[in-house]
């Protein structure tokens, strides 16, 4: 297993995009926090990550090495929209 996986991370509007070497032992929730910190995303908003190749929303407790990532897969971070009462 490789230690670093080359992936592309972008936001939902594609205004931010970065090619990164993702550590294979990082958990998805830690990755989300790293992206929020580096891109100064609002801290009061919950985010999720989707693997664009499959359309799968990634479980935040999963370690990246458990995913079937391929070189240059696109991981899209997007805000979790909460429905409200009328």
Q: What is the pLDDT of residue 85?
A: 62
Q: What is the pLDDT of residue 18?
A: 95
Domain map (residue ranges) of the chain: 4-75
**Entry pTM:** 0.88
The string over 66-78, giving b where at least 16 C-beta atoms fall within 10 Å of a residue's C-beta and e elsewhere, is: ebebeeebebbbe
Q: What angle do CA 76, 82, 86 make, to 5 degrees?
A: 150
Q: What is the pLDDT of residue 49?
A: 97
Q: What is the pLDDT of residue 84?
A: 63
Q: What is the CATH number of domain 4-75?
A: 3.10.20.90
Q: What is the mean pLDDT of each run of 10 residues along the chain (86 residues)?
A: 89 93 95 95 94 96 92 96 68
């Amino acid at each position: 297993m490789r230690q670093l996986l080359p992936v592309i991370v972008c936001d939902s509007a594609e205004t931010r995009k970065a090619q990164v070497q993702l550590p294979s032992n990082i958990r998805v929730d830690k990755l989300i926090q790293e992206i929020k910190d580096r891109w100064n995303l609002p801290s009061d908003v919950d985010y999720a990550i989707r693997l664009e190749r499959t359309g799968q929303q990634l479980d935040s407790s999963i370690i990246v090495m458990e995913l079937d990532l391929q070189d240059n897969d696109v991981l899209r971070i997007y805000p979790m929209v909460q429905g409200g009462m009328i």
